[in-house]
Chain A
Amino acid sequence: MSFPWARQYEPKNGLTKFLDEKLPLPRLVYGAIGAGYPVPRNLSYMWNFGVLAGFCLVLQIVTGVVLAMHYAPNALVAFGTTEHIMRDVNWGWMMRYAHANGASFFFIVVYLHIFRGFFYSSYKAPREMIWLLGVVIFLLMMATAFMGYVLPWGQMSFWGAKVITGLFGAIPIVGEPIQVWLLGGFAPDNAALNRFFSLHFLLPFVIAGVVILHIWALHIPGSSNPTGVEIKTEADTVPFHPYYTAKDGFGLGIFLLLFCTMVFFLPNYLGHPDNYIEANPLSTPAHIVPEWYFWPFYAILRAFTVDFFFVPAKLMGVLAMFAAILVWFFLPWLDKSPVRSGHYRPLFRKFFWFGLIPTMAVLFYCGGAPAEEPFVMLSQLATAYYFLHFLVILPLVSSIEKPEPLPYSITEAVLGSDKKAVLGENTTPAV
């Protein structure tokens, strides 16, 4: 692991010497996020979002544990205890608004983190495992957020749970029994609410575990960087502390500024008014929409309106929605270009900015819109392009594209020249 020039931890006083012998935790921290971890000197702000995602996870766990002290997962009182948190519990409103908006900010940060990965092909060798674990984290996050949204037991909670578990009903033969089994009843009720609470409490800790694996896997090759050229010498790196602790700290400040603006001035902007009405199994709200971070996938789900040979439309939608995320697992092998960074890939770059990004924007918009024309047709076109992009365009582009010349090293990219390169030590630009 790591580079030969990485600084070694040296315990200075009696206490740290004692600890280093018995339980070398300070050594671990020093090597993982301290001065003992050499990082490319040219990381941009796009590399801030991993640390920010970690911060969000801690934020959700802290506020979540506090909320759980006042909340009761019983269908008779759940809605009431949520209002009790808002009105009676000291600072309860702040904890709840921070948790609800924290989930949204968590997704904003992780989406940026993922799209950083798309643009800089961070998923390519030797970082495949980091990427695969990342997709697992994302799936776990979606499950956690979905179950958390059910807990306040408002109208959107209830109908969201009903519609999403209804997706399983689309599976032939076993679908309905699975749905009943998941809910512990024939419709969402106390049994479902209780198990969702239990799992919503558990899953963030599972995520924390996978994040540890994610970072472990990251520390084997180390971070990539905006050029995509791998580290060659010590000159290409700076120690994580103080350089990136400072940069990440600055990013965290900006993040908190935006976050606090939402929590204190627009706390319900991202929510639905319908969720302030208690769940009513006999009346459906006029317009059921999931939380904004599910919109692109919800649009894909609803894009299938006609049967596809012998596969019913409803099942097609469900399969496509899951496939839209599962396809990410195959990215390291679909994109075969040896060049990582989009900055040196003229064709890839065009498809990224004018293909993938607008497609995601359209899917995002359509997922939140009512299921009417023109939104249905738009989501159909966007869904088609989405899969085309990953399954056809990426492999094709990587085989026909002529990449632009890469800098010899990170140092050359930053300083304009690299002494080692001038000396002609190794002039073939390694990727």
Chain B
Amino acid sequence: MADTTGTATPETLAVHGEDGVRRRDFINIAAVSFAGVGAVAVVLPLVSQMAPSADVLAESSTEIDVGSIEAGQAIKAVFRKQPLFVRRLTPAEISQADKVDASSLRDPQTLAERTKEGHLDMLVTMGVCTHLGCVPLGAAEGENRGEFGGYFCPCHGSHYDTAARIRKGPAPTNLVVPDYEFTSDTVIRVG
């Protein structure tokens, strides 16, 4: 392309531009960036479809009548497809839990912190061992309650005390207390 006059024709501008940026480079970068943003945008739904769907989340709160549980008894309920332990502690179990110095524990918490005010005897926890997720024993009649009288996980030997706090074995934390509230004196809503 002979540019003898020294003035830029539209063609030479299109190729070289005034500042050395070629029109083609611009189109190239713009197109690739646009495709890149598009590719990232489709990753989002692809990743997010794996998360719990609406119907799974809809099961995420459960009401339980706890009025009929006698002191020393426990029931197994289901919350989010996982076992939930509801246990009415005996006065002996409460004092046993309060006797230990909470700050000396692996996951320091007092019984009062793990129950609702005025319901110190109502222990609501997930029935899911915090180690690798087995269901601990001790909720049903006659099951092994471990060395601390609470729950015992047979999978790798985690012992929980009467406040369902981890005392011995590989589990890193206490049995999880889910979010719940008393909707009346005898009914709790979990989740």
Contacts and interface: CB of A to CB of B under 8 A. Distances in A.
Interface of A: 159, 162-163, 166-167, 169, 180-182, 184-187, 189, 191, 195, 281-284, 286-288, 302, 305, 312-314, 371-372
Contacts of B53: 184, 191
B100 interface: no
Contact of B156 (A180, A187, A191, A371): A371
B134 A191 contact: no
7 contacts: A167-B132, A185-B56, A186-B80, A186-B82, A281-B78, A288-B134, A313-B170
> For the complex, would chain B's binding face be called helix, strand, loop or mixed by DSSP majority?
loop
B135 A284 contact: yes
Nearest to B126: A186
Nearest to A317: B170
Given A288-B134, A314-B172, A371-B157, A281 B51 contact: no
Contact of B50 (A169, A189, A195): A195
Contacts of A313: 170, 172
Contacts, number: 74
Given A282-B76, A284-B155, A184 B50 contact: yes
B149 interface: no
Contacts of B56: 184-186, 189, 191
Given A187-B82, A191-B56, A286-B154, A166 B132 contact: yes
Given A281-B81, A282-B83, A372-B157, 10 more contacts: A162-B133, A181-B47, A186-B82, A195-B50, A281-B82, A284-B155, A287-B154, A288-B134, A312-B172, A313-B172
A414 B81 CA distance: 65
Q: Say whether chain A's binding surface is mostly helix, strand, loop, or mixed.
A: loop
Interface residues of B, number: 24
Contacts of A169: 133
A159 B51 CA distance: 20
Contact of A184 (B52, B134, B155): B52
Nearest to B78: A282
Interface in B147-161: 154-157
Nearest to B127: A282
B154 A284 contact: yes
Q: Closest 6 A-B residue pairs measured CB to CB? A: A186-B80, A166-B133, A284-B134, A166-B132, A163-B132, A284-B135
Residue among A169, A182, A282, A287 with the highest chain B CB neighbour number at 10 A: A282
Contact of A181 (B51, B76, B170): B51
B116 interface: no
Contact of B81 (A189, A195, A287, A305): A189
A305 B87 CA distance: 29
Given A184-B52, A195-B50, A314 B82 contact: no
B51 A184 contact: yes
Contacts of A371: 155-157
B131 interface: yes
Interface in B59-75: none
A22 B168 CA distance: 71
B132 A191 contact: no
Contacts of A181: 47, 50-51
Given A163-B133, A191-B56, A284-B134, A180 B81 contact: no
A97 to B, nearest CB: 29
B134 A163 contact: yes
Nearest to A163: B132
